[in-house]
Amino acid sequence: MPTLLVRNVTLLVTMDDQRREISGGGFFIRDGFIEQVGLSQNLPETADDVLDLKGYIVLPGLINTHHHFYQTLTRAVPAAQNANLFNWLKTLYPIWARMTPDDIYISTQTALAELALSGCTTASDHLYLFPNGSRLDDEIAGAREVGLRLHASRGSMSLGESQGGLPPDSVVDSEDSILSDSVRLIERYHDGRPGSMLQIVLAPCSPFSVTGELMRQSAKVARQYGVHLHTHLAETQDEEAFCLDRFGYRPVAYMQSVDWVGQDVWFAHSVHVKEEEIKLYAREGCGVAHCPSSNMRLASGIAPVWDYMRAGVKLGLGVDGSASNDSSHMLAEVRQAMLLARLRSGLAGASLSGSQDAPPLMTARQALELATRGGAAVLGRPDLGSLEVGKCADFFAINLNRLDYAGALHDPVAALTFCAPQQVDISVVGGKVIVRDGHLLTLDVPRHVEKHNQAAMRLVR
Ligand SMILES: [Zn+2]
């Protein structure tokens, strides 16, 4: 069983229950799991591999709870740059309809490379169109090579334009084929054990692209196999109007009507929710993937993050996109979450007046907590999210001695979030080094970028 010793870390941010930050700390890893954490002098003296991290800050690997890897092929597409969600989608659907299995494979690796270099060690992805013979298997194959943990959501669209849905009929599938493929994927790939590298999630795309019957049937299959459920919800006011018009419900009540509430469900966005809907999320255990960049990019609104936190809703971060961000940089998203939450607090007025009921300003540590412990809770991964005994050995390290942090070392944790988002120097997943000296070891990045750009040029014409 291979061992790895991490020692002399200038600041080790554990995110454990006491939120310990240990100067001169480290940990000892055996077979992918953490066996000891503490001051370096209390750890074993050697191991198969040793990382001496004097001068570095170390944090638990970041967890991305919402993404569409394939959209890295359509970032900054001129026709979709200045559109809100529905117009943005209508512009991009025909382009996405040209994708091939190879495009899915290539774009998966692109997104995961960007994520890995920005501190992410576990990513959830939502793939919901399967043109020209594409399958979720193409994404899974790409991800395996890069080496991050993947929660692959088998998305779906079944409600085409002719049936009153938003997507063109050419990109929707039959509900029978969606459900049988969902079962196939779960049986073939899903691993629910601690330390799992791959989980399958069932994820009909959104209220305006699938029927209620598909939502209900997907929930049934997911619960039969014990896999999680995911969808976009309450992202925009257009969606709310669609739900009221078509179903006679607001989005959250619609979810209740199709049996989509519970510990095993998490929603992307949930920007437009009322107080009682937030309470329902907390009571039922529904999680939220907060995607601040995407919400700003598409002018969707500002999610009530502080209200979620106060109510005890499981809350994680997602870079979303990549065509609505247009980046897969997790540390940048942490920063964005902190800043946007502050803006909402400021708009609410009270925070600056010092009133007791004031929504406070989100701190750097709170923002980082969303991306670690928060994401682990949202994905249902008690084995991730903090650096403590028995947890997966997933972490990243950044050298503090850099121009971008000069003058900010009064508080290195805050430097990570307040200063410009950096790429990591080291990243480790399950005890395996994926990034060393700032280089991704599992992919020839320059060659890959060339391939990716060729694929993107072919699609957008
Ligand atoms: Zn999304």
If you measure from the C-alpha of residue 14 to the centroid of ligand 1, how many angstroms do you get, rounded to a whole number? 30
> Residue 349: its pLDDT value, please?
74
If you measure from the C-alpha of residue 361 to the centroid of ligand 1, how many angstroms do you get, rounded to a whole number? 26
> Residue 353: its pLDDT value, please?
55
If you measure from the C-alpha of residue 320 to the centroid of ligand 1, how many angstroms do you get, rounded to a whole number? 5
Instruction: Pick out the chain residues at pLDDT < 70.
Output: 350-358
pLDDT one-digit tens code per residue, 129-167: 999 999 999 999 999 999 999 999 999 999 999 999 999
If you measure from the C-alpha of residue 420 to the centroid of ligand 1, how many angstroms do you get, rounded to a whole number? 25
> Residue 350: its pLDDT value, please?
55
If you measure from the C-alpha of residue 163 to the centroid of ligand 1, how many angstroms do you get, rounded to a whole number? 22
If you measure from the C-alpha of residue 67 to the centroid of ligand 1, how many angstroms do you get, rounded to a whole number? 6
If you measure from the C-alpha of residue 236 to the centroid of ligand 1, how many angstroms do you get, rounded to a whole number? 12
If you measure from the C-alpha of residue 111 to the centroid of ligand 1, how many angstroms do you get, rounded to a whole number? 14
If you measure from the C-alpha of residue 68 to the centroid of ligand 1, how many angstroms do you get, rounded to a whole number? 6
If you measure from the C-alpha of residue 86 to the centroid of ligand 1, how many angstroms do you get, rounded to a whole number? 12
> Residue 355: its pLDDT value, please?
58
Measured torsion, CA atoms of residues 429, 433, 437, 441, in degrees rounded to the nearest 10: -100
| 43 contacts: CB under 8 Å, gap ≥ 6 | 5, 7, 26, 27, 28, 36
If you measure from the C-alpha of residue 149 to the centroid of ligand 1, how many angstroms do you get, rounded to a whole number? 19
Instruction: Please spell the DSSP secondary structure of 83-150, one letter per residue.
Output: --HHHHHHHHHHHHTT--HHHHHHHHHHHHHHHHHTTEEEEEEEE---GGG--HHHHHHHHHHHT-EE
If you measure from the C-alpha of residue 117 to the centroid of ligand 1, how many angstroms do you get, rounded to a whole number? 21
pLDDT one-digit tens code per residue, 359-389: 789 999 999 999 999 999 999 999 999 999 9
If you measure from the C-alpha of residue 415 to the centroid of ligand 1, how many angstroms do you get, rounded to a whole number? 29
Cα-Cα end-to-end distance for the chain: 51
> Residue 461: its pLDDT value, please?
80
If you measure from the C-alpha of residue 125 to the centroid of ligand 1, how many angstroms do you get, rounded to a whole number? 9
Q: Residues 96, 97, 99, CA angle at the centre, nearest 5°?
A: 70
If you measure from the C-alpha of residue 132 to the centroid of ligand 1, how many angstroms do you get, rounded to a whole number? 22
**Contact between residue 397 and residue 57 where contact means Cβ atoms under 8 Å apart:** yes
If you measure from the C-alpha of residue 402 to the centroid of ligand 1, how many angstroms do you get, rounded to a whole number? 34
If you measure from the C-alpha of residue 22 to the centroid of ligand 1, how many angstroms do you get, rounded to a whole number? 36
pLDDT one-digit tens code per residue, 292-302: 999 999 999 99
Give the containing element (helix H, strand E) for 22: strand 21-22
If you measure from the C-alpha of residue 232 to the centroid of ligand 1, how many angstroms do you get, rounded to a whole number? 6
Has this prediction a pTM greater than 0.95? yes
If you measure from the C-alpha of residue 284 to the centroid of ligand 1, how many angstroms do you get, rounded to a whole number? 23
Q: In terms of Cα–Cα distance, which of 437, 429, 366 is closest to 398? A: 437
If you measure from the C-alpha of residue 457 to the centroid of ligand 1, how many angstroms do you get, rounded to a whole number? 23
If you measure from the C-alpha of residue 127 to the centroid of ligand 1, how many angstroms do you get, rounded to a whole number? 9
If you measure from the C-alpha of residue 78 to the centroid of ligand 1, how many angstroms do you get, rounded to a whole number? 19
If you measure from the C-alpha of residue 240 to the centroid of ligand 1, how many angstroms do you get, rounded to a whole number? 16
If you measure from the C-alpha of residue 235 to the centroid of ligand 1, how many angstroms do you get, rounded to a whole number? 9
